Amino acid sequence: MDSVITLAGVGLTYPGPPPVSALRDVDLDVRQGDYLAVVGPSGSGKSTFLNVVGLLDRPTHGTYLLDGVDVSTLSERDRTALRGQRIGFVFQAFHLMPYRTATENVALATLYAGVPKKVRISTAHEALARVGLAHRAHALTNMLSGGERQRVAIARAILHRPSLLLCDEPTGNLDSDNAASVLTLLDQLHRDGMTLMVITHDSTVASRAKRLVTIRDGALC
Amino acid sequence: MLIAPSRFRLGDVIEESVAGLLQRPMRSALTMLGTMLGVGSFVAVLGLTATAGGQIDKRFTELAATEVTVADVGVAGANDPTMSFPANAASRVESINGVVHGGRWWPVPLDHPAVSSAPGISSHGGELQILAMDPSTVEAARPVLRLGRTFDTFHADRHEKVAVLGSVAASNLGIYRLDGNPAVFIDGTPFTVIGIIDDTGRMPDMLFGVIIPASTAYDLYGPPTEQRAQMLLETRLGAASVVADQVSLALRPDAPDLFKVTAAPDPKALRSKIGGDLDVLFLTLASISLIIGAIGIANTTLVAVLERTHEIGLRRALGARPRHIAAQFLTESTVLGLLGGMIGAAAGITVVVIAALVQGWTPLLQTWAVAPAPVAGALIGLLAGVYPAQRAARIEPVEALRR
């Protein structure tokens, strides 16, 4: 199977003084359909790792291939476009826009790809159906429960069929019932062939993944 | 590999901006208030000025524009009993190019004269004024005759004792017909009534008066004393100010300073004078209001940027470039300004219409004062949004998405 992401000797050092190595010498290969969990205590460099993989931050050394494209040398404009097109983000805090419907929130995913509104709305309805929220499509997000909100966020993240679904503590703000439903949804997406990377410090979340990578002091082990 | 760059369609920009504003409808409305007040005051002030100006134009008839009056001020300081106007004053002014009619007039210096329609009756109607006029003065006043005729140079040259009555004076004296050659007796002296004036274009006082030729009055009663003589001139349209410059010299080349000449003010000058004083004040206030409105929009947009850091981070994660973020916030502030401008213009128009209605005037609004109002509002919003938009564009997604 094809590699979705390939990290080779990737590191990120914040210029000092004193210089801080937030990420050092990371080698990782994630293949299509993988379900990978990255675990580590807080302060271990999980967030930096997520930012680098999610193209939100640029590594200072090493090479990073996303779908075979060396993104470490790309311009900021291309990185931004690639991020929008190839990566789906799921955040702990959901980051949904209040006072707007679930559909509008989901349809935002392809806004910056220039997809016409009608298409965005209809694909948003499909994505919401896929996460089991077809009946809540027109509800304002501030009226939804935590679990529903995270599922809307997941619908937004998968709308544009990303190469990689990047989840940052997806159950961190949820009670155990809602957390379980979200994890079930992730399992289901995995079965459908989605490539998933879940960054967490929660062992129950990590246990669902097929691969487990631990990060400590900015290094994978 | 070619990567399709991120884009943000214009329709989407507007939709996202409006949605952003509707998230906080009350705040958006209050933010618009400053711009609304500013633009509204501008439209109202300009509209009210135009309306008042239009009203002046309407009242400023041809009659007023063709009038020149000359006052005999005499020798300054001295109680000068002599009349400064020469006897041939009327022919002198009528030789000026542009003068249609013109002549002297003064109230005859009689202390409570007895005026009656028959000898022996003491007085009728109380306060009847006896006016001495050159024949051309009567013409210049544009009389509308009910009966008979006015006196002419023949009567004046022969110092005839004739009189023309104003309509009020005639009815007070009980004179309604001329076929019996009626006369009025002024302190016993008979004057043949040759005409009755129904109405005048100028000098409505004439309707209450008994008008006798100036030459006759001068013979009988001497020069005017308490109220000095004046001249009334009718000019051709547009000639008033040119005529006014020449009158004094034409009358008395030796002593032009004896007269004070007043021409009808230029209607344009009058209008701009009325506009000038208040406009400056109100337009200054409106400008201040606009500046405050701009600051209000800038402030609210900046607060919104800081409040919506997460949203900005999310949009950046979804592929928005910094310029897309800037465009969204710029559009939000511009839409706020535009709406403020439109509502303000509507409010300004309403004020003008109501004010005109109350005064019974015709409301007048210049297109150039109203049409650009929404554009001006939008421009203010755009300018106000520049700094907040820059701030929003500089927000790093990594920072914005931090929990």
Asked whether the beta carbons of B70 and B377 are under 8 A apart, the reply is no
Smallest Cβ–Cβ distance between A100 and the set B9, B11, B19 belongs to B19
pLDDT exceeds cutoff 60 at B78: no
Smallest Cβ–Cβ distance between B319 and the set A51, A98, A112 belongs to A112
What per-residue confidence (pLDDT) applies to A181?
Answer: 92
> pLDDT tier at B191 (50, 70, 90 boundaries)?
very high
What per-residue confidence (pLDDT) applies to A45?
Answer: 86
A59-63, B282-286, B341-345, B359-363, range with the lowest pLDDT: B282-286
pLDDT exceeds cutoff 60 at B36: yes
Mark yes or no for CB contact A112/B8 under 8 Å: yes
A144-153, B237-246, B263-272, range with the lowest pLDDT: B263-272
What per-residue confidence (pLDDT) applies to A20?
Answer: 85
What per-residue confidence (pLDDT) applies to B223?
Answer: 86
Residue B397 with chain A: CB contacts under 8 Å: 56
- Mean residue pLDDT of chain B comes to 86
What per-residue confidence (pLDDT) applies to B76?
Answer: 61
Q: Classify domain A33-58+78-220 by CATH number.
A: 3.40.50.300
In Å, how far is B52's CA from the nearest CA of chain A? 49
Q: Where are the domains of chain B?
A: 10-59+269-400, 67-263
What per-residue confidence (pLDDT) applies to B224?
Answer: 86
Kind and range of the H or E run holding B101: strand B99-107
Q: Where are the domains of chain A?
A: 33-58+78-220
Tell me how far apart the alpha carbons of residues B168 and B200 are, in angstroms, rounded to a whole number.
12
Smallest Cβ–Cβ distance between B398 and the set A56, A68, A109 belongs to A56
What per-residue confidence (pLDDT) applies to B158?
Answer: 92
What is the chain A residue with the closest CA to B403? A93
Q: Which residue has the tokens 């919506």?
A: B308
Residue A117 with chain B: CB contacts under 8 Å: 11-12, 15
A117-121, A177-181, B110-114, B271-275, range with the lowest pLDDT: B271-275
- Chosen for mutation from A78, A79, A90, A95 (greatest number of chain B CBs closer than 10 Å) is A95
Is the interface score ipTM higher than 0.90? yes
